[in-house]
Chain A
Amino acid sequence: MAHLLPVEIVEAARAFPGALAGCSDLDGLLRLKGAYVGREGSHAARMMELLKSAPKEQKRDLGAAINELKQQWEEGLKARQAELETSKTSQHGLLSGSDPTLPPPLPAQGALHPLNRLMDRLVEVFRPLGFHVEEGPEVETEAHNFDGLNIPEDHPAKAASDTFYLAAHPELLLRTHTSPVQVRTLLRVAPELAQRGGIRFLAPGRVYRKDEIDPTHSPMFHQVEGMLVGHGIGMQHLKGTLEYALRALFGPHTEIRLRPSYFPFVEPGCEVDVSCPLCEAQGCRVCKGSGWVEILGAGLIHPNVLRYAGIDASEWSGWAFGMGVERMAMMLSQTPDLRLFFENDQRFLKAMGGLD
Chain B
Amino acid sequence: MILDIYLVLFWLFSAVAVFAALRVITVRNPVHAVLFLVLTFFTCAALWMLLEAEFLAIVLVLVYVGAVMVLFLFVVMMLDINVAPVREGFIQYLPLAATVAVIVVVEMALVVGSKTFRPNQMAAPAPAAAGASNTEELGVLLYTKYLYHFEIAAAILLVAIIAAIALTMRKRPQTKYQNPAQQVQVRKQDRLKIIKMEPEK
A and B assemble together: no
